[in-house]
Amino acid sequence: MSQTWVTPVTLTGRAVRLEPLDADRHAEGLWQVVSPDTFQYFASVPTEWTLEGFRKYLQNLLAVLDMCPFCQVEVATNQSVGVTTFMEIRPAHRGLEIGSTWIAKTHQGTTINPEAKYLLLRHAFENLKAIRVQLKTDSRNLQSQRAIEKIGAKREGVLRNHYIMPDGHYRHSVYFSVTDEEWPEVKAKLETRLGYTP
């Protein structure tokens, strides 16, 4: 990580704790909850489906200069249940992306994802003073699009033939964003959804 605007930090909520990703510490726990279909819509995937191959995949995430990955840890069990990332970090423009997110199937549909997004958005807007946070997903991933819309992000459009996927498919990416002006309303709705008291 060559930029210094976004640095590793632990963000803790009621259901999830976002810890700076450590390939050696988190690989085994994440490996236990991940499956190949987790990466169906990802442009970057583990190249070898073994624990060591998965560890190398996590190490590669950590090597990307404009990425700050987190391990999603369920607070109640202290179990690693997924990964999420600050990426496309643009300090000069006070913008970044939340992406490369996956959650164990056993924890999809729980409060883990919305609370993780809440913690990341709050950190971005209130601590980093970001003016834009973007999210994107494969146009085929309707579940992800619904989840992004549900947190209050606005759909911006589609970048066609954006990535060539590992299977050769040309991925169209659907972009969403939240701006600093929109954050107070998005925050209030997320806090209500999560049962936070003002």
Token digits of residue 186: 């998005």
Q: What is the pLDDT of residues 17-65, one digit of tens each?
A: 999 999 999 999 999 999 999 999 998 889 889 999 999 999 999 999 9
Q: Find out whether 125 and 180 touch, Cβ atoms under 8 Å.
A: yes
Render 104-128 in DSSP notation, one character per residue. -GGGTTSSHHHHHHHHHHHIIIIIS
Q: Please, what is the average pLDDT of the chain?
A: 95
pLDDT value at position 191? Answer: 97
Structure tokens at 37: 């279909």
* pLDDT mean over 75-79: 98
Instruction: Give me the pLDDT at residue 4, please.
Output: 87
In this prediction, residue 1 has a pLDDT band, given cuts at 50, 70 and 90, of low
**Per-residue pLDDT tens for 95-143?**
999 999 999 999 999 999 999 999 999 999 999 999 999 999 999 999 9
Q: Are 99 and 136 in contact (CB under 8 A)?
A: yes
Query: Tokens at residue 30, please?
Result: 């994440």
Whether pTM > 0.85 for this model: the answer is: yes
DSSP states along the chain:
---SSS----EE-SSEEEEE--HHHHHHHHHHH--GGGGTT-SS--SS-SHHHHHHHHHHHHH-TT-EEEEEEETTTTEEEEEEEEEEEEGGGTEEEEEEEEE-GGGTTSSHHHHHHHHHHHIIIIIS--SEEEEEEETT-HHHHHHHHHTTPEEEEEEEEEEE-TTS-EEEEEEEEEETTTHHHHHHHHHHHHT---
pLDDT in tens, 169-185: 999 999 999 999 999 99
Task: Enumerate domains of the chain plus CATH numbers.
Answer: 11-192 (3.40.630.30)
pLDDT for the residue 175:
99
pLDDT at residue 198 tops 90? no
Is it the case that residue 194 has pLDDT exceeding 80? yes
